[in-house]
A and B are shown apart, each in its own frame.
Chain A
Amino acid sequence: MSYLDQLGKGATPEKAAGQPQPAAAFPTNQDENPVADEVASAPPTTVDLRREYEDAGVREVLEELDRELVGLKPVKKRIRETAALLLVERARRRLGLAHETPTLHMSFTGNPGTGKTTVALKMANLLHRLGYIRKGHLVSVTRDDLVGQYIGHTAPKTKDILKKAMGGVLFIDEAYYLYRPENERDYGQEAIEILLQVMENQRDDLVVILAGYADRMDRFFESNPGFRSRIAHHIDFPDYSNDELHKIAVGMLERQNYHLTEDATAMLSRYIEHRRGQPHFANARSIRNALDRARLRQANRLFEAETGPLDAAALSEIAAEDIAASRVFLQKPGRNAEYVHPESERGDVAAFGNGEEETRP
């Protein structure tokens, strides 16, 4: 029995009705929710969902999600549905209709670069606003952070991470690496057992999000039924369309105060088409890397041209030639003979170090 269960028993009814239990456990001055206090004075008999929606700041989070993330329609829809469910659950709890914390653990599946980490951040924020987690921070880990290298190393490592994630969201990227069926003495199993135990016993304290490629996650869940049954929400992230990737690219550049010339815009569309057909395509991440290299070439071009003083416009303009120099255009899609990594560059430009595709942000 967790200590929070024991707390729940001693809590006064007003308090239990006023705030969701997790938020009530260790309230802090910074986090005080004026709305909850107001309601706490008298046990409510009706709940205005619309008002709750506004007051909890759910709308802000959802609008931010819509504004900042291009595409991802099904994901946004799922998050909206989840938010509605949690809002209703919270209202039910206030009226004393629900007592159990709903299972909030999730799995995000999708190809690389489809925004899983970004959405996980927003999700943490959303859960925090709704009072299901107390702090709302995201701890992002991979196998290396959880699994030790020798006997007795794994449990303290996993527990350390869990301690840090308490009150927030634990995001396990490429979770399937935790389970290695080919090595039966792999320490990953130990980490899985600890995780499952905490996921079950401390649902009030921690939300776990598992992320990874769809097919490998499916296999992972098949071999670990414990995880499948403890995860309530499966969200699938679709690949971006070419238009969406284009929009993302323009947005990224705008945020860095760059803009594309007209030719460059057309060239970027062609680039995206070509890039998609080639190996190691990682959606938005590939685009970000491509833009980083375009900036590199732009800097080189400006430096070598030496046309005298440059103004702000010249410094922030990406021309078609900056994109056209990419090796992606030299390769026909699907041709595997004499394969060269499309994102590797020739000559001295490479010496600056170009974004390796597999590098995680």
Chain B
Amino acid sequence: MRMTQGTFSFLPDLTDEQIGRQIQYCLDNGWAVNLEYTDDPHPRNTYWEMWGQPMFDIADAAGIMMELQSCRKAYGDRYIRLSAFDSTHGWESVKLSFIVNRPKEEPGFRLRRQEGNGRNMRYTTEPYADARPEGERYAV
């Protein structure tokens, strides 16, 4: 099951050229671009690991693409997310965020049902991937 999250989530994955253009748009607006990765795809897992620091003072998308390539090299089997932070006064928030890398196989989520008192039912979802310890979830 294909995990979707952030902007463009209902489009097919962006190509590198498209990612580059999105990055250039962010940079032209003066936003700081940041890369994060994780292997826990649960939707409530908000805080991913940071790949280096957010990148300020960069003029051209090629610089960020270079960083993205090295992140893919190290964590190509995990989810990588790109986010752009607008630091203008009054905004100070993430303006754009989308997934730029995903594992080859995404097993999806299991729905668990728990029977409560009476006919009460509690539902919870958990990724099949997180049965294994961190770092081994999407073995290549």
Q: State which size class the interface on A falls in.
A: 20 to 34
Contacts of A4 in B (CB 8 A): 62
**What CA separation (Å) do A339 and B133 show in the bound complex?**
72
B58 interface residue (CB < 8 Å to A): yes
**B: contact size bracket:** 20 to 34
A254 vs B134: C-alpha distance when bound (angstroms): 67
Tell me if A30 and B28 are in contact (CB < 8 A): yes
Picked from B16, B21, B58, the residue with its CB within 8 Å of the CB of A163 is B58
Question: Judging by beta carbons under 8 Å apart, are A7 and B62 in contact?
Answer: no
Judged by a CB distance under 8 angstroms, whether B65 is at the interface is yes
Q: Name the prevailing secondary structure of the B interface residues.
A: helix
Apart from A26-B20, A29-B28, A166-B61, what are 13 other A-B pairs with CB-CB below 8 Å?
A7-B20, A25-B62, A26-B24, A134-B60, A137-B59, A163-B55, A165-B63, A166-B62, A167-B59, A167-B61, A167-B62, A168-B59, A205-B60
Contacts of A168 in B (CB 8 A): 59-60
State which residues 13-36 of B face A: CB under 8 Å: 15-17, 20-21, 23-25, 28
A229 at the interface (CB under 8 A from B): no
Report the bound CA distance from A205 to B63 in whole Å: 9
Q: Does B92 make an interface contact (CB < 8 A)?
A: no
Once A and B bind, how many residue pairs between them come within 8 Å at the CB atom? 68
B60 and A3 contact, CB distance less than 8 A: no
Return the contact of B66 from the options A7, A10, A30, A166 (Cβ within 8 A).
A166
Task: Tell me if B69 is interfacial: C-beta within 8 Å of chain A.
Answer: yes
Query: Which residue numbers of A lie inside 8 Å of B, CB to CB?
Result: 3-4, 6-7, 10, 25-26, 28-30, 134-135, 137, 156, 159, 162-168, 202, 204-206
**Taking A3-B69, A28-B28 as contacts, is the C-beta distance between A164 and B16 under 8 angstroms?**
no
| Cα–Cα distance between A10 and B28 once the two chains are bound (Å) | 25
Contact of A205 with B58 at beta-carbon distance under 8 Å, contacts A3-B20, A25-B17 already known: no
Would you list 17 pairs from A and B whose C-beta atoms are within 8 A, ordered by A residue? Answer: A3-B20, A6-B16, A7-B17, A10-B15, A25-B61, A26-B23, A26-B61, A28-B24, A30-B28, A159-B67, A165-B63, A166-B61, A167-B59, A167-B61, A167-B62, A205-B60, A206-B62
